[in-house]
Amino acid sequence: MRIEGLKLIHFRNYSQLELELDKNLNLFVGANGQGKTNLLEAISFLASGSSFRTHHESEFVFWGKKSCLVSGIVSKRFGKQTQQVCYESEKRRKIYKNEGVLVERRKYLGQLIPVLFTPEDLTLVKGQPQGRRRFLDEEIAKVSPVYEYELGRYQQIVKQRNFLLKKYREKIIGSQEIESWNEQLVLQAVKILTKRMAALHRISLLARLAHRKLTGSRENLDINYASLPTHQEGSHPEQIRQSLLESLEERKQEEVRWGQTLVGPHRDDILFFINGKNAKMYASQGQQRTLVLALKLAELEYVKGETGEYPVLLFDDVFSELDESRRRFLVETIEGRVQTFITGTEAERLGNFRHAGRIFTVSRGEVL
């Protein structure tokens, strides 16, 4: 998929902007604070009505204005279409349209899929498990329209159940009530777990391949889903269900003591191993960067495998931080296949691409 044209109205520091984009490579170059990241944010807003930078939509709206709009012409194998999102800050609502016709968010999502690489992604390896779970959940949501709904349902069950555990601790209710929630918790947990394990399995194979190439076969990357020991890719759902139930039974006292649901996919983690060593403990800065890059390249292939089309790739700042050989490998992998958007402060360090693509100079909310 490719974005052929982009239009912004009152989005961040852009009052009004219309861009014709290159189908392969677009470089946004400019000094700090000029609006480069804002452009990538506009693309993710166009894709899903949300942003990688904030959950406060009002920040999108140009200071003093009441609404913002991003629209884009997106072309795919089977034709192209204009899609747009508008956010109205007073009514706090988003309006999604295809070809000018109002559509529900659920139907809108998934038409444009971005894969994003920002400096924050470098904390993925050593940061909190939550960040790694989010990474995986977002990947699945990009290709599975139902996943967001199922995950929301799971989180609601956990929230209700935690509340109940606290009440039980204060002896306001009996244990029978908790048990009737267990059934639903486990049922929904199995759905999330099977999706996560299947997706991570695919992503890990793809990432290992990319990682091997990036390191000249010197390093071997393994990615594991860390959950109950019985949960493996390929485990039968019934088997997962049983072990979850057993584990809930085992940790009953502990759960009541903490007033928290301690069993289930919301407690799981993703582990990375480089040549058998846990990357969370031992990976150097450079190794982490390579690992995350391999993951991003795996994402591209994963989306392609699931949807039949490559997503668009957004690189915020990180590109210029990669060393020469990694940059070359990256360019070879994506050039001509994946439409790429790169931001940076200097044009020359971005110039590994054979086809120059289009270089835009970003200055104070204007693009030249």
Partner 1 sequence: MFYPEPIARVIEAFQKLPGVGPKTAQRLAFFVLSLPREEVVAMARAMVNARDKTRYCQSCGNFSDAETCFVCRDSRRDQSLLCVVQDPRDVLALERTREFKGLYHVLGGAISPIDGVGPDQLRIRELLARTGGGSFREVVLATNPNVEGEATALYIARILKPLGLRVTRIAHGLPVGGDLEYADEVTLSRAMEGRREF
Ligand X SMILES: Nc1ncnc2c1ncn2[C@@H]1O[C@H](COP(=O)(O)OP(=O)(O)OP(=O)(O)O)[C@@H](O)[C@H]1O
Binding positions for partner 1, rule: CB under 8 A: 104, 106-107, 145-146, 149, 153, 156-157, 159-161, 163-164, 167, 173, 176-177, 179-181, 183-184
The interface partner of residue 30, options being ligand X, partner 1, Mg ion, none and the CB cut-off 5 to 8 Å by kind, is ligand X
Q: Which of residues 37-96 bind ligand X (CB under 6 A)?
A: 37-38, 59, 61-63
In the beta sheet, which residues pair with residue 117?
Answer: 315
Question: Which of helix, strand or coil describes residue 82?
Answer: strand
Q: What is the dihedral of CA 143, 149, 154, 157, to 10 degrees?
A: 180
Would you tell me the crossing angle of helices 129-143 and 285-307 to the nearest 10 degrees? 20
Contacts with Mg ion by CB under 5 A: the residue count is: 1
Closest approach of Cβ 62 to partner 1, in Å? 24
- Of 37, 71, 194, 247, the residue at the interface with Mg ion (CB under 5 A) is 37
The dihedral built from the CA positions of residue 38, 25, 137 and 222, taken in this order, carries a sign that is negative
* Residue with the two structure tokens 């993710």: 44
H helices present in 63-214, as ranges: 105-108, 129-143, 147-169, 175-214
The interface partner of residue 235, options being partner 1, ligand X, Mg ion, none and the CB cut-off 5 to 8 Å by kind, is none
Would you tell me the crossing angle of helices 285-307 and 324-334 to the nearest 10 degrees? 0
Q: Give the nearer residue to ligand X in terms of CB position, either 120 or 150.
A: 120
Q: Give the nearer residue to ligand X in terms of CB position, either 265 or 344.
A: 344
Closest approach of Cβ 20 to ligand X, in Å? 20
The interface partner of residue 176, options being ligand X, Mg ion, partner 1, none and the CB cut-off 5 to 8 Å by kind, is partner 1
Query: Which residue type occupies 140?
Result: I
The interface partner of residue 180, options being partner 1, Mg ion, ligand X, none and the CB cut-off 5 to 8 Å by kind, is partner 1
Which residue stretch of 29-37, 91-99, 183-191, 253-261 sits at the interface with Mg ion (rule: CB under 5 A)? Answer: 29-37
Closest approach of Cβ 280 to partner 1, in Å? 34
Q: Nearest-5° angle of CA 60, CA 66, CA 71?
A: 55
* Cα–Cα distance for residue pair 94/91, rounded to 1 Å: 9
Exposure of 71 by Cβ count < 10 A (0-12 exposed, 13-18 middle, 19+ buried)?
A: buried
* Cα–Cα distance for residue pair 146/270, rounded to 1 Å: 22
Extended beta strands in the chain, E state: 2-11, 14-20, 25-29, 67-76, 79-88, 93-98, 101-103, 114-117, 221-226, 269-274, 277-278, 312-316, 340-344, 358-363, 366-367
Q: Give the nearer residue to partner 1 in terms of CB position, either 149 or 282.
A: 149
* Cα–Cα distance for residue pair 199/144, rounded to 1 Å: 10
- Of 33, 145, 174, 237, the residue at the interface with ligand X (CB under 6 A) is 33
Q: Give the nearer residue to partner 1 in terms of CB position, either 65 or 106.
A: 106
Closest approach of Cβ 226 to ligand X, in Å? 34
Which residue stretch of 28-36, 208-216, 232-240, 306-314 sits at the interface with ligand X (rule: CB under 6 A)? Answer: 28-36
Q: Give the nearer residue to partner 1 in terms of CB position, either 157 or 283.
A: 157
The answer to whether residue 227 forms part of the interface with ligand X (CB under 6 A) is no
Closest approach of Cβ 320 to ligand X, in Å? 11
Question: Which of helix, strand or coil describes residue 343?
Answer: strand
Which residue stretch of 36-44, 81-89, 108-116, 325-333 sits at the interface with ligand X (rule: CB under 6 A)? Answer: 36-44
The interface partner of residue 179, options being ligand X, partner 1, Mg ion, none and the CB cut-off 5 to 8 Å by kind, is partner 1
Q: Which residues contact 337 (CB under 8 A, 6 or more apart)?
A: 310
Give residues in contact with ligand X (CB under 6 A). 12-13, 30, 32-38, 59, 61-63, 343, 345, 362
